[in-house]
Amino acid sequence: MFDTAINNGFVVDPANNIYSRLSLGLKDGRVAALSATPFDAGAAVEIIAAAGLLVVPGFIDMHMHEDRYDPAANSFDINILDAMLRMGVTSVAGGNCGIGTCLPREYLAAADRQGLPVNIALYAAHAEIRKRYASDNYAPVSSEVIAQMARDLDEQLAGGCLGVSFGLRYVPGTSREELHALARVAARHGKLLAAHARDDAAHIHEAVRELIDVAAEERVRVQVSHIGSMAAYGQMEEILAALDAAVAAGLDLGLDCYPYNAFCTAIGSATYDPGFLERYDIGYEAVEVCGGKYRGQRCTREIFDEVRRDTPEILAVAHVMKEHEVDMALVHPRTILASDGILFNGLGHPRAAGSFPRFLRHYVKERGILGLNEAVAKMTCLPARRLGFIEAGLKKGSLGVGDDADIVLIDFEEIRDLADFAEPLAPPLGIRQVLLGGRTAVKQGKVKDNRLGRGLRV
């Protein structure tokens, strides 16, 4: 007797090359059987009729920024993890770009105790470790501090972190010695070094070269984070070629990318300091104001200057990435789909709530740039492997017998991201049901249980 049977869905499981109408029997949180004929009412406690729906492994978001956990209050602010669940994501990797919220060990233990909307794994975040010893992000640290940071990192990796993440753009004082010393620790553990590169746009070439060099010299597996927002300003073709050449020479270099060609930040922030038009090769009309009296309007020089001067806190969207270059990145076989979702006080870029449905709609359904199997692979088994889940014995990202029953049921006719810059957390259409460990977390767009997720350690 199964706990649940999912009958007659179209199963897409790229890890196992399964691509046909099948029925799944779930037992004790795992896939227990796949059958070409549906299970009858007596075979399972609950039967889910999935005819006409896609049945795919729960999505894995390998690059996002997790909700905060406050150890003193023993509480999470749950915003983004909820948005993740609603778009079909069942496991995430947080702690990216060098940014963490507390000790990963404490976060994961609290996740186990309280339960979260999705399963979560964490990187050891470089900037968090560094700020224990140094307050100036612009200044290098001493060899003694680097040695201490390496010991801290070693401990976090031994505790199950995915690898080390850097936001080199945000910590310009990170020296070559510091980067390489920490890379050696990750390499010793066979884990990833994920990096928001030191610079973007016209300066991305040197920034990626730095990452290729560390991969080569320290034999560390490197993940180049959110490549679209780093290089889709006229540099993508050359960057992909540089990375491919390095891979051909034996290095292990991966990429991830979010499926949007715009970013969003406060109009008063450094991103919009003088020189940004040249940096991104755009005009004022590429900037959209998100609040105040010009809300929804594209800028002129006058509007931009006025809003930046009078209300610097207002968010502005920069429609700056070249879409064909974002496409080029996402089509690349080593590129994994990831949201880079991040929220401040529950607000932010729609990628936090729309990336995965948008990828299916915009890349598979409407433009046919990717096949369904290929797209699902970029959201499931490829991130599972890249993050080291499979080697660590975590049965994520696939639906073979014995795998975790993290499953999404999708109405492909209906699939659509509704989150936009005006309504960044709007849940998508077409995610019919989401199961974590065989239990229903989302049904018909409604969250039924947001405590099924646990900490993941590799």
Site residues, Zn ion (CB under 5 A)? 97, 196
DSSP 8-class letter at 191: -
**Cβ–Cβ < 8 Å for 4, 46:** yes
Residue 348 backbone zone (phi > 0: left; psi -120 to 50: alpha; other: beta) = left
If the CB atoms of residues 125 and 240 are measured against Zn ion, the closer one turns out to be: 125
Expressed in angstroms, the distance from the first to the final Cα of the chain is 32
User: How wide is the angle at C-alpha 54 spanned by C-alphas 52 and 60, nearest 5°?
Assistant: 160
Q: Bridge-partner residues for 407, per DSSP?
A: 57, 435
135 — phi, psi (to 5°)?
A: -100, -15
Q: Is the dihedral of CA 419, 65, 67, 339 positive or negative?
A: positive
Q: Bridge-partner residues for 111, per DSSP?
A: none
If the CB atoms of residues 9 and 424 are measured against Zn ion, the closer one turns out to be: 424
If the CB atoms of residues 55 and 211 are measured against Zn ion, the closer one turns out to be: 211
Least distance to Zn ion from the beta carbon of 272, Å?
17
Q: Of 117, 180, 224, give the one whose Cα is nearest residue 439.
A: 117
- Beta carbons within 8 Å of 244's beta carbon, 6+ residues apart: none
If the CB atoms of residues 97 and 399 are measured against Zn ion, the closer one turns out to be: 97
Least distance to Zn ion from the beta carbon of 163, Å?
15
If the CB atoms of residues 196 and 198 are measured against Zn ion, the closer one turns out to be: 196
Least distance to Zn ion from the beta carbon of 198, Å?
12
If the CB atoms of residues 94 and 437 are measured against Zn ion, the closer one turns out to be: 94
**Cβ–Cβ < 8 Å for 458, 439:** no
**Cβ–Cβ < 8 Å for 17, 66:** no
Least distance to Zn ion from the beta carbon of 352, Å?
13
Least distance to Zn ion from the beta carbon of 369, Å?
24
Least distance to Zn ion from the beta carbon of 165, Å?
9
**Cβ–Cβ < 8 Å for 200, 194:** no
If the CB atoms of residues 97 and 452 are measured against Zn ion, the closer one turns out to be: 97
Least distance to Zn ion from the beta carbon of 97, Å?
3
